[in-house]
């Protein structure tokens, strides 16, 4: 399934109706969550039935499309099921107990409640929220897909306006010539990553570069009177600047991940727990700015699209172990050069990348015969899921 996004254009009254729909979705989700907390809802089916009860009780809930109401209840059940899964897996620390939502920014319709025009340039919301017809503007062409392939649509509110997302049921697979190369990636803060060939990519540091403009926008907000229109305008400006940084990170991750996957047949990378790493308050801002997790997600996505092998390798010991003889050489984080008694002298990140590649190749066959059997391995490869680690891989 792919998601196509278009900018929505309409009247101020239509955008106000969308805001009302967003508040209704938040209300349904929170009521469904309270229904579960009180012990009355045991399954997702119970929460879906509860939507009909809310529609009879509240007129503004009844105005929302029935399938959109069910999608709102599904959001509550998604948080509940994630909590159950974390408890079953005995994940240490907080188990992500479901929380009540505030500031909802999207409403989702399934196969009813909307109608796409024949020219694919406008969409009409047909429920009682009176959103009406919205003009669509984007770079993708919806004529390539049949209406029955669109399984869901989503109205999303962002700092710079409103967007319509189409969830299209279609497979994406691209065939390219095998490169016969394998690579290991070690992400860092000085450089975005260093590979096993000692090639580096600069860390863009989008948040650091935009920090001055963010501070200016934040000061404008603090100087405005609470509840005033000028304060609301200042908040919009700040939101747009944060949105620009977010889009810069995403664009960088997509382009870099596609380049890495298309240039190599096997890509091994660290299985980092970003949630634990950002507990270090000295490095948390820089780690979040690097956006390693987003880069990993796109690596795995393009691995499936191009039929390449992506392997998540446990990060423990990759910097301490010598990539030449296997001896453990203890070093602090400030020590940037790996020096071993066997005579191996490498940059710390280069040494770690070589270790990551060596461990990753162990899951796709013997290292000595890897290049000879590359074509066979590619035919049976499977990309790892986000959070999956090396012992869970499917070997060739």
CB atoms under 10 Å from CB of 54, counted, come to 21
Q: Residue 380 has what pLDDT?
A: 39
Residue 108 zone, left/alpha/beta (φ > 0; ψ -120 to 50; rest):
beta
Confidence of residue 304 (pLDDT cuts 50, 70, 90): very high
Question: What is the tally of structural domains in the chain?
Answer: 2
Does 159 share its domain with 188?
Answer: no
**In the block, residue with structure tokens 């790996």:** 338
pLDDT 10s digits, 13-60: 999 999 999 999 999 999 999 999 998 988 999 999 999 999 999 999
pLDDT, residue 136, reads: 94
Domain boundary among 145, 168, 191: 168
For residues 90 and 24, state if they share a domain. Answer: yes
Within this chain, do residues 144 and 197 fall inside the same structural domain, yes or no? Answer: no
For helices 12-37 and 44-57, give the axis angle rounded to 10 degrees: 120
The phi, psi pair for 131, rounded to 5°, reads: -75, -40
pLDDT at residue 372 is higher than 80: no
CA angle in degrees (0–180, nearest 5) for 15-5-204:
110
Q: Is residue 287 part of a domain?
A: yes
Mean pLDDT, the chain, rounded, equals 86
Is residue 212 included in any domain, yes or no? no
Same structural domain for residues 145 and 186?
A: no
Q: Note whether 123 and 188 are same-domain residues.
A: no
More confident residue, 280 or 205: 205
358 within domain boundaries = yes
**Residues shown for the chain:** 396
What is the mean pLDDT of the segment spanning 321-345? 81
Give the CA distances from residue 198 to residues 46, 262, 328, in Å, rounded to whole numbers and listed in that order. Answer: 56, 19, 21
Cα-to-chain-centroid distance, residue 380: 26
Q: What is the pLDDT of residue 364?
A: 61
Q: Is the pLDDT at 392 greater than 80, yes or no?
A: no
pLDDT greater than 50 at residue 378: no
pLDDT over 70 at 300, yes or no: yes
Last residue in a domain, options 168, 194, 215: 168
pLDDT at 89: 86
pLDDT interval class at 275 (50, 70, 90): confident
Q: How is the beta sheet containing 161-168 ordered, strand by strand?
A: 106-109, 150-158, 161-168, 2-9, 132-137, 122-125, 114-116
Q: Does residue 216 lie within any of the structural domains?
A: no
Residues 52 and 114 in one domain: yes
283/345 same-domain check: yes
The pair of structure tokens assigned to 374 is 């590359």
- Answer yes or no: do 100 and 192 share one domain: no
Domain contains 34? yes
Q: Does residue 246 lie within any of the structural domains?
A: no
The Cα angle at residue 145 between residues 252 and 158, in degrees rounded to 5: 45
Q: Is 96 found in the same domain as 11?
A: yes
pTM of the model: 0.82
Verify that 162 and 190 share a domain, yes or no.
Answer: no
By residue range, what is the domain housing residue 45?
2-168
Assess whether 116 and 197 both reside in one domain: no
Same domain, 154 and 284: no
pLDDT at 159: 92
Domain boundary pick from 168, 192, 227: 168
Q: How confident is the model at residue 375 (pLDDT cuts 50, 70, 90)?
A: very low
């Amino acid at each position: 399934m792919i998601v196509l996004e278009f900018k929505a254009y309409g009247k101020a009254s239509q955008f106000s109706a969308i805001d009302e729909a967003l508040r209704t979705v938040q209300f349904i989700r929170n009521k469904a969550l309270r229904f579960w907390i009180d012990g009355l809802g045991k399954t997702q089916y119970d929460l879906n039935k509860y939507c009909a009860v809310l529609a009879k009780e509240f007129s503004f809930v009844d105005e929302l499309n029935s399938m959109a109401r069910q999608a709102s209840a599904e959001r509550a059940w998604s948080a509940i099921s994630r909590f159950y899964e974390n408890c079953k897996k005995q994940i240490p620390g907080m188990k992500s107990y479901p929380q009540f939502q505030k500031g909802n920014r999207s409403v989702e319709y399934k196969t009813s409640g909307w109608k796409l025009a024949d020219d694919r340039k406008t969409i009409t919301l047909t429920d009682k929220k009176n959103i009406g017809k919205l003009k669509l503007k984007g770079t993708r062409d919806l004529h390539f897909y049949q209406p029955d392939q669109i399984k869901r649509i989503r109205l999303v509110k962002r700092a710079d306006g409103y967007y319509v997302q189409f969830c299209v049921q279609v497979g994406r697979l691209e065939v390219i010539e095998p490169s016969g190369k394998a690579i290991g990636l070690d992400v860092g803060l000085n450089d975005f990553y260093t590979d096993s060939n000692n090639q580096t990519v600069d860390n863009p540091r989008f948040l650091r570069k935009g920090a001055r403009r963010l501070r200016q926008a934040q000061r404008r907000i603090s100087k405005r009177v609470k509840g005033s229109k000028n304060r609301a305008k200042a908040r919009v400006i700040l939101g747009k600047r944060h949105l620009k940084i977010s889009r810069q990170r995403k664009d960088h991750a997509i382009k870099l991940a596609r380049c890495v996957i298309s240039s190599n047949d096997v890509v091994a990378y660290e299985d980092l727990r970003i949630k634990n790493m950002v507990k270090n308050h000295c490095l948390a801002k820089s780690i979040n700015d690097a956006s390693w997790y987003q880069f990993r997600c796109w690596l795995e996505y393009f691995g499936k699209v191009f039929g390449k092998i992506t392997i998540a390798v446990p990060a423990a010991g990759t910097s301490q172990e010598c990539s030449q003889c296997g001896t453990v050489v203890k070093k602090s984080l400030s020590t940037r050069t790996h020096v071993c008694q066997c005579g191996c002298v490498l940059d710390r990140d280069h040494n770690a990348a070589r270790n990551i590649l060596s461990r990753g190749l162990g899951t796709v066959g013997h290292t000595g015969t890897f290049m000879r059997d590359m074509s066979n391995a590619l035919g049976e490869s499977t990309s790892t899921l986000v959070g999956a680690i090396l012992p869970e891989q499917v070997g060739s």
